[in-house]
Amino acid sequence: MTDKAVSPWRNLWVRFREDRIALAALVVVGIILLLALFAPFIAPQDPYDLSGLSLRDARRPPGWVGSGGYVHWLGTDAQGRDLLSAILYGLGVSIQIGIFAGAVGLVIGTTIGILAAYHRGWFETVLMRIIDLQLSFPPILLALVLVAALGQGKAQLIAALVAAQYAYFARTAFGAASAERSKDYIEAARATPLSNTRIVFRHILPNAMPALIVVATVQVAYAIALESTLSFLGLGLPVTEPSLGMLISNGVKYMMSGRYWISVYPGIALIILIVAINLVGDHVRDILNPRLNR
Amino acid sequence: MSSFLLKRLLQGVVIMAAMSVIVFAGVYAIGNPLDVLIPPEATQDVRERTIARFGLDKSLVEQYFLFISNLLKGDLGLSYIYNEPVLSLIGNRLPATLELVLTAVLGATLIGVPLGIYAGYKPHGFAARAIMAISILGFSVPTFWVGLILILTFAVSLGWLPSGGRGETVEFLGIEWSVLTLNGWSHLVLPAINLALFKLAIMVRLARAGTREVMLSDTVKFARAAGLSEMTILSRHVLKLISIPIVTVFGLELASTLAFAVVTETIFSWPGVGKLIIDSIKNLDRPVMVAYLILTAGLFVTINLCVDIAYALLDPRLRRGRAE
């Protein structure tokens, strides 16, 4: 050990690398992100281009050579769409929504949590009461009702997901920030002419960040799962841009007749994505849990 | 204890009042119910009579107070779609949902807690790692997809179990139950497993985290020093010490499972409340939505209250108010 202070982020990374499963999960997340990002270049077919589809290729099993002259490795769906291509594009849609919802929830929730912790008094009591009340209500129900109220569309869906999830960020930010707020150095900083904004951004926020990152990873995974559930129930995105949940939902009616691939493969992609994100988040949480560090 | 109870009860009433306002205003912002209620070719006269019959000509505040005064009389209004009292509509379907939810949560607890304690007792063993891997899977995999795979495997491919419906029911206490017939069980088992998996994962994680912390505590060291067997330590002391978060989560999960049943019931065509609420959201059947949400909120408040009472019984520190 050197005398030089190791930055907490570097320390986190060094300890993260120790667990091989978590490291593998991180690699998987990275690969999936790249696949989704470069889907237009990798996918054998543009699934949104209806003129490229042929009904003769509809509901063909994996390995079928279609009229396009290439192999449909994962089969085709009811419109004759190549499933591999649809999954690659669908991954992008699902990830976009998950990250957007997670990021907006992070910003809104953190703002509320830190404001409540910093200002204390009745402001804190009222805000945190509302947050606790909301946390006791299942997010899926909230999202269901909001999607019904706001109508279908990407922005509406993200708004519903944020409303269902921001409370988790607020709770975490509040916990971390009020622990920091009661420390002496913050009292000392408040006695100097430093502005409140500066104290919050330079001192409180950086200390609350690690905990928030953990919640953010888990919430992104949860947003992706919630979105696919809503799409599955027919209350998610419009059909023009099928997310993974929509792809699965489209295949359900063919499942009973044994054409399993239309639902199963998008589902496997969805699960790999969610499990990988959760494994990463889980391990970071273990590292950051002071009670297990002995 | 009684002042503690009274305070909690009062809190519950305030929360319910707030929830009723939020739900009412929220649901009434959704769509235009006239499109559902009145066919486009209806005459002006019919339109006006329908609007008056459902009280839609009154202001939102008036409608709210009318709703509340009817609610206190036990009348939750008429469904726009079924033209039936909402309360009997929900009441008829509630037993199906309840038996599904109870089976799932009880099963998840009875299986999950021992597995979690074991995983926390030997956290680095192979079995513990396998348990945790499965629990992460149960936590991550969306309920609806597990449901589809269960149907695909056990109903379509193997043909062992039916893919939907409630099967034979037997009347007991004036209510139809599936749990009392063998055929009913064959219909219940897949949706119950589907609904239980997520809860099972939570129970495993909770029990494991609690056990890991408790195993390092002085209580366990002293118990070992006193020569108690490991089995006794786990079942007498560890189980007791980790029971508080488990009871909390059991209660809260019971309520949230009721909400999650929406998905499972849709997949397995289980004729419960969940399917009703999905249909009512799609059809803009406001009275059913309002009633369902307020009943669910009421259930949450009641369960939270029960959890608080259970807390007080389990943890003597929280019972101090009694001595005063």
**How many residues are present in chain A?**
294
Indicate whether A270 pLDDT > 80: yes
Separation of alpha carbons A279 and A284, rounded Å: 9
Question: What are A268's two structure tokens?
Answer: 């496997």
B256 at interface of A, judged by CB pairs closer than 8 A: yes
Among the ranges A17-21, B113-117, B294-298, which has the highest mean pLDDT value?
B113-117
- CB of B22 within 8 Å of any CB in chain A? no
Nearest Cα neighbor of B192 from B123, B75, B106 is B106
Kindly state the average pLDDT of the residues B68-93.
78
pLDDT at B167: 65
Segment A119-141 shows an average pLDDT of 77
Please answer yes or no on whether A232 and B259 come within 8 Å at the CB atom. no
- pLDDT at residue B99 tops 70: yes
Asked if the model's pLDDT at residue B124 lies above 50, the reply is yes
**Of the ranges B22-31, B46-55, B105-114, B314-323, the best mean pLDDT one:** B105-114
pLDDT-derived band of residue A53, with 50, 70 and 90 as boundaries?
Answer: low
Among A106-115, A130-139, B267-276, the range scoring the smallest mean pLDDT is A130-139
Write down the pLDDT at residue A68: 66
Residues in chain A closer than 8 A to B143 (CB atoms): 229
Q: Please report which confidence band the pLDDT of residue B323 belongs to, taking 50, 70 and 90 as the band edges.
A: very low
Chain B residues with CB under 8 Å of A255 CB are 148, 151-152, 156
Calculate the alpha carbon distances from B49 to B53, B55, B56, B78 in Å: 6, 10, 10, 16
Average pLDDT over residues B9-34: 76
pLDDT at A104: 93
Structural contact between residues B78 and B156, judged by C-beta atoms closer than 8 angstroms: no
Segment A281-292 shows an average pLDDT of 73
Is the CB of B299 inside 8 Å of chain A's CB atoms? no
For residue A68, what are the β-bridge partners?
none
Beta strands in B50-186 (DSSP E): 170-172, 175-177
What is the average pLDDT score of chain A? Answer: 79
- pLDDT, position A52: 65
Could you give the dihedral angle defined by the CA atoms of residues A164, B88, B304 and B315, in that order, rounded to the nearest 10 degrees? -150
pLDDT at B218: 79
Confidence of residue B320 (pLDDT cuts 50, 70, 90): low
Q: How far apart are CA B20 and CA B177, in angstroms?
A: 31
- How many degrees, rounded to 5, is the angle at CA A131 between CA A125 and CA A137? 140
pLDDT tens sequence across A238-259: 767 778 888 888 777 777 776 7
* Burial track B286-321 (b if 16+ CB lie within 10 A, e otherwise): bbbbbbbbbbbbeebbebbbebbebbbebeeeeeee
Mutate to test the interface with A, among B22, B36, B129, B148 (most CBs of A within 10 A): B148
* B23–chain A nearest CA distance, Å: 10
Q: Is the pLDDT of residue A29 over 50?
A: yes
* Structure tokens belonging to residue B288: 């059913």
Between chain A and chain B, how many beta carbons pairs sit less than 8 Å apart?
101
Query: Is the four-CA dihedral A91, A93, A98, A100 of positive or negative sign?
Result: positive
Instruction: Residue B282: list chain A partners with CB under 8 A.
Output: 148, 234-235
> Which pLDDT belongs to residue B67?
77
Q: CA-CA distances (angstroms) from residue B158 to A56, B151, B152, B166, B197?
A: 30, 10, 8, 20, 21
- Predicted local distance difference test score (pLDDT) of residue B52: 72
**Residue B260 pLDDT:** 75
Name chain A contacts of B18, Cβ cutoff 8 Å. 133
Q: If pLDDT is split at 50, 70 and 90, which confidence band does A2 have?
A: very low
| Residues with Cβ within 8 Å of residue B295, at least 6 apart in sequence | B90
So what's the ipTM on this one?
0.73
Mean pLDDT (whole number) for B290-298: 82
Closest-approach residue (CA) in chain B for A235? B282
Flag whether pLDDT at B265 surpasses 50: yes
Distance between CA B93 and CA A108 in Å, rounded? 39
pLDDT in tens, B218-241: 777 777 777 777 777 777 777 877
Token couple for A283: 């391990």
- The minimal CB distance from B300 to the residues A136, A221, A235 is found for A136
Structure tokens belonging to residue A189: 């900083």
Q: Which of A152, A228, A229 would you mutate first to test chain B, the one with the most B CBs within 10 A? A: A229
Mean pLDDT of the region A269-273: 89
Identify which of A136, A275, A292 has the shortest CB distance to residue B140: A275
A229/B142 CB distance under 8 A: yes
Banded pLDDT at A232 (limits 50, 70, 90): confident
CB atoms within 10 A of CB B6: 10
- Indicate whether A3 pLDDT > 50: no
Nearest CA to B242 out of B199, B279, B205, B270 is that of B205
Confidence of residue B315 (pLDDT cuts 50, 70, 90): low
Interface of A with B (CB under 8 A): 133, 136-138, 140-141, 144-145, 148-149, 221, 225, 228-229, 232-235, 245, 248, 252, 255-256, 258, 260, 263-264, 267, 270-271, 274-275, 278-279, 282, 291-292, 294
